[in-house]
Amino acid sequence: MDESRLAVNIRSNIFLWVFAATVVPLTLLVLAVTQYSERQHLEQVDGQMMTGLNYMISEIDRRLTFERDVVEALAVSPSMQAFESALVDVDEVHLDEYEIAKDDLTTFLEEFQSVFLDVGTIRVLDDDANTVIKVRFGSRLDETVTGIKPYAYSESEAVDDFFFGEIQSLLPGQVSYVLLPASRNEFGFDRTAPMLDAIVPLQDVFGQTSGYLLVNSIGVQIDRILELAPRLYSGKLMIAEINPDLRERDGLVLYDEAQGQVFSTAKDTRKNLSDVAEGRLLEEVLRQPSGAFNTENGKYRIYYSEYLPYPNQLISWVIASAVPQDEISAPFARIRIAIILFAVFALIMSLLLANYGARRLADPIIELAGNLKAYARGEPLSQNSSTATSEIEELQSAFDYMAQTTREAEKERDQAELMLLQSAKLASIGEMAAGIGHEINNPLNNITALVRLIRRELPEDQVEVHHDLVSLQEETERATRIVRGILDFARQVPPKYTTIHVPVWVDESLALVQQMAADEGVSINTHVEPGLYVEGDSTQLQQVLINLIINAIHASPRGSSIEIEAHRTRDEAMELSVCDQGCGVSDEVMPKLFDPFFTTKPVGKGSGLGLSISLGIIQHHGGTISVHNNDFGGVSVVIRLPITAQQKPHD
C-alpha cells in the first residue's frame, strides 16, 4: 500500500469514526429531543386550541342563554299579557279593544327591536298558528289577510300540519326552538335560515294556550363573537349543524371563515360538513364529541368541539378551527433547518479533522512502515519523527526497542555461533596439536641434550662453533616453549575454584608485567570496585589477564596508557575490561583473533595462542570474552565471569 492510499484509508476511517461517534449520535439526539419537544409543543397547541374553542362555545352559549331569557321576559311583559287577554276575549264586540292592545304590543316590539338588534323577526301567533303581529327590524309588517277569525292576519296562513302539531306539543311558558315552514322562511324558498326560531307558548288565565311568541335570531351577535375571537396559529373557524332528524340541515355549514361565509346570512344547503376534510371531520364528530386530527394531505390540523345550542332539540353545532401544520411546526422547521446546517457543518469539520488527523497519523505510520521494510532488508533505520499521538509514539518506541534488542540478539547470536565455532575449531586443533606436540617434543629434548654435550666437550677456542651452538640451543628452547604452549592449549586443564579477591588479584598480575610496561613506556591505570570477589582458578585467570595486558602493551604506543576496569554487574557477574590506545583491529582481522596460531605481531614475537588459550580458560569458567574497537582508537577486551562458580572441578 503506497503512502497516498494509506493516508486516504486513515482519513476515511477517522472521518467515519468521528462522524459515527459524534455527529450521528448528536444529530440523532437533537432530532429525538426536537421530536419530543415538538410532541410537547403539539400537546400545548392542542390544549390552547381546545381551550380557545371551549371559550368561544361558552361565549356563544352565554349569548343564546341571554336571548332565551329575553324571549321569556318578553313573553310575560305587560304589553304581551294585555294583548293575550284581548286575544282570548276578541269578538265583534271587543274588536276595538283587541286592535288597541295589538297596536300597543306592536309599538313595544318595534322599540324592543331597536334595542336588541340581533332579533330579526318577531311574530305573535294565535292558537291556530296564524300570525297576528309581525315586526321585522324595528318595523311592523301587516298584510291584512282576512281569515275565519274576526281579526285580520299579518301574513298568509301557514299551511303546515307538521309545524302546527309540533308547536301544540310545546310546554307553556318555556322557550323552545322550531323551524318555520318554508312559506315563512325569511331567506327565501331556496335558502335556509342559520338558526331555528325561539318560540314560547302563551297561556290565558285558565292555563290554556292562547297563542305563541315566535322570535327569529339571525345570529348577528354570534358573528360578532366569532369575529372578536382570537385566531390562534392562523386558524380558520367553521360552524356546521348536525341534525339527523332533518336531512336538508344535517351537516349544513353555518359559518365558514375560509370561504367568507358569515353566520347571519342565508345558507346554501349544498355546502355540507361531509365535504370538509374529505368527510373526516364528520366521522370524528360522530366518533367523539371533541378532539383534533390531521387532514389526509397533512396540510391542516383540525380542532373541533360539539355544542348543543337548543335545549329541546337533538341538534348540535360543530365548531372547528383548521390550523395550518406549518404554523404549528414553524419553530421546529427552523430547528430542523438548523440541525441540517449543523450536520453539514459537522460533516465539513469532520472531513477537515479527518484530513488533519490522517496526516498526523499517516506520516509517522508511513515512516514506521518504511523502517519495517528497511529492517526486513537489513538496511539502516531512519530516525522516526516525533508525534503527539501517544499510541503511535509508543508503537515507534516499541519498534525501536524491538529492532535494537533483535539486532543485539542477532549480534550476540552471531558472537555465540562464532565462539561455538571457535571452540570447535580449538578442540580439533587441540587434538591435532597434542599429537604433534608429543611427536616434536621428544626430538627437541634430544637436540637440547646433544647441544649441551657438544658444548661441554667442545674446546674453548672454538668461539664461532660455541656461538652457533648457543643459537641452536636458544632456537631449540624456543621450539620447546612453543610445543609446551601447544600442549597447554591442548590439555585445557579444568579450573580449580577458589574465592578470588579481585583488587588483590589484579595488583599481583600487574606486578608481573609492570617492568615490561615501563620498558615500553606505557602506563597502566586500574579502576577496580572495592570488595569485589569472584570464584575461579586464580592461576588460569591470571594467565588470561597477563596475556591481555601483554597484548595491550605490544599494541600501545609510547606515552599512552592502558585502562583496566573491573566491577560487579546487575546480573551478578564480574565484568573486567582491558583497553589500550593502539591502532585498533580491522574488520577483516577481528573474526580471526581467537584462531590458534593467528597473530598480528611480527614473526618471532608471538605464537598466536594467547587469545585462544584465554578463550578456552574463560569458557571453562562459564564466562565470555569479546573484543571490539574503543573510542580511543585502540582495542577493548571485555571478560564477563559469573560471581559464583557455574561448574565445580572434577576429581
Type of residue numbered 94: H
**pLDDT given for residue 419 in this prediction:** 61
Q: What is the pLDDT of residue 311?
A: 86
Distance, first Cα to last Cα, the chain: 66
Count Cα neighbours of 465 within 13 Å in the Cβ-side half-sphere: 11
Residue type, 493: V
Query: Mean pLDDT across the stretch 427-434?
Result: 60
Residue 324's pLDDT band (cuts 50, 70, 90) = very high
pLDDT in tens, 214-241: 998 888 889 999 999 888 888 999 999 9
Residues 631-646 have a mean pLDDT of: 86
Residue with cell string 599494541:
555
Q: How far apart are CA 77 and CA 94, in angstroms?
A: 22
The kind and range of the H/E element at 320 are: strand 316-324
pLDDT above 70 (res 189): no
Mean pLDDT within 248-270:
88
Would you say 375 and 403 are in contact if contact means Cβ atoms under 8 Å apart? yes
**Strand 523-528 with 561-568, pairing:** parallel
Alpha-carbon gap, residue 567 to 532, rounded angstroms: 7
H or E element at residue 239:
strand 236-242
| Cell numbers at 340, concatenated | 441540517
Q: Is residue 345 pLDDT above 90, yes or no?
A: no
Spatial separation of the C-alpha atoms in residues 183 and 197, rounded to whole Å: 14
pLDDT value, residue 630: 86
Q: Which of 336-345, 413-422, 574-583 shows the highest mean pLDDT?
A: 574-583
Can you give the pLDDT at residue 159? 64
Amino acid making up residue 118 = D
Beta sheet of 561-568, edge-to-edge order = 523-528, 561-568, 573-579, 635-642, 624-629
434 alpha-carbon distance from chain centroid: 81
Say yes or no to pLDDT of 184 above 60. yes
Tell me what pLDDT residue 420 has. Answer: 64
Mean pLDDT of the chain: 80
Task: Output the pLDDT for position 378.
Answer: 67
Query: Under 8 Å CB-to-CB from 98, ≥6 apart: which residues?
Result: 86, 87, 89, 90, 151
Coil, strand or helix at 468: helix
What crossing angle do the helices spanning 502-520 and 538-555 adopt, rounded to 10°? 30
Give the Cα separation of 6 and 364 in Å (integer): 11
| Residue 116 grid coordinates | 336588541
| Domains of the chain with bracketed CATH | 44-332 (3.30.450.20), 389-491 (1.10.287), 493-651 (3.30.565.10)
Identify the residue with better confidence: 639 or 584.
639
- Torsion 310-311-317-319 (CA) sign: positive
Q: Which three cell numbers stand for residue 456?
A: 661441554
Query: One-letter amino acid identity for 273?
Result: L
Please report the pLDDT score of residue 193 as a whole number.
Answer: 85
Backbone angles phi, psi at 378, to 5 degrees: 80, 20
610-620 vs 390-457: helix crossing angle, rounded to 10? 120
| Edge-to-edge order in the sheet of strand 131-136 | 139-140, 131-136, 119-126, 209-217, 197-203, 176-178
pLDDT for 252 equals 92
pLDDT tens sequence across 353-408? 666 666 666 667 667 667 777 777 666 766 666 665 666 667 767 767 777 787 77
Length of the chain equals 651
**Range in 282-286, 367-371, 440-444, 619-623 with the lowest mean pLDDT:** 367-371
**Which ranges of 594-635 would DSSP assign to H, the alpha helix?**
610-620
Query: Which of 183-197, 324-338, 500-514 is most confident?
Result: 500-514
Lowest mean pLDDT among 21-25, 108-112, 278-282: 21-25
Grid look-up 419530543 returns: 36
Tell me the CA distances in angstroms from 521 to 262, 526, 557, one per residue in order: 133, 17, 8
Task: Look at residue 649 in the predicted model and tell me its pLDDT.
Answer: 43
* Phi, psi for residue 562 in degrees, rounded to 5: -115, 130
For the stretch 452-507, pLDDT in tens is: 778 777 777 777 777 777 778 777 776 776 666 566 555 566 778 899 999 999 99
For residue 650, pLDDT over 50 is answered with no
Exposure b/e, 300-313, CB count within 10 A at least 16 = b: bbbbbbbbebbeeb
Q: Which of 22-36, 242-256, 267-281 has the lowest mean pLDDT?
A: 22-36
Q: Is 498 in contact with 536 (CB distance < 8 Å)?
A: yes
Q: Where is average pLDDT lowest: 76-80, 90-94, 502-506?
A: 90-94
> According to the model, what pLDDT value does residue 319 have?
95
The amino acid that residue 157 corresponds to is E
- What does the DSSP assignment read for 4-73? HHHHHHHHHHHHHHHIIIIIHHHHHHHHHHHHHHHHHHHHHHHHHHHHHHHHHHHHHHHHHHHHHHHHHH
Nearest in space to 349 (alpha carbons), one of 111, 22, 10, 636: 22
Report, as an integer, the average pLDDT of 511-536: 89
| pLDDT band of 605, cuts 50, 70, 90 | low
Q: How confident is the model at residue 640 (pLDDT cuts 50, 70, 90)?
A: very high
The more confident residue out of 342 and 567 is 567
